[in-house]
Amino acid sequence: MVDLRRVMSTFATGVTVITVGGDTPHGMTANAFCSVSLDPPLVLCCVSGTARLHKAVVAQGHFAVSVLCAEQEDTARYFASRGRPEGLEQFASVEWFPGPSTRAPLIADALGWMECRVTEEVEAGDHSVFVGRVLHTEVGADRSALLFHGGAFQGLGSGPRTGEVNGRVGSR
Global pTM reads: 0.87
In sequence order, which residues have a C-beta less than 8 Å from that of residue 1 and are 6 or more positions away?
none
pLDDT, tens digit, 9 for 90 and up, residues 45-97: 999 999 999 999 999 999 999 999 999 999 999 999 988 999 999 999 999 99
Class of domain 2-163 (CATH, top level): mainly beta
Task: Break the chain into its structural domains and give their ranges.
Answer: 2-163
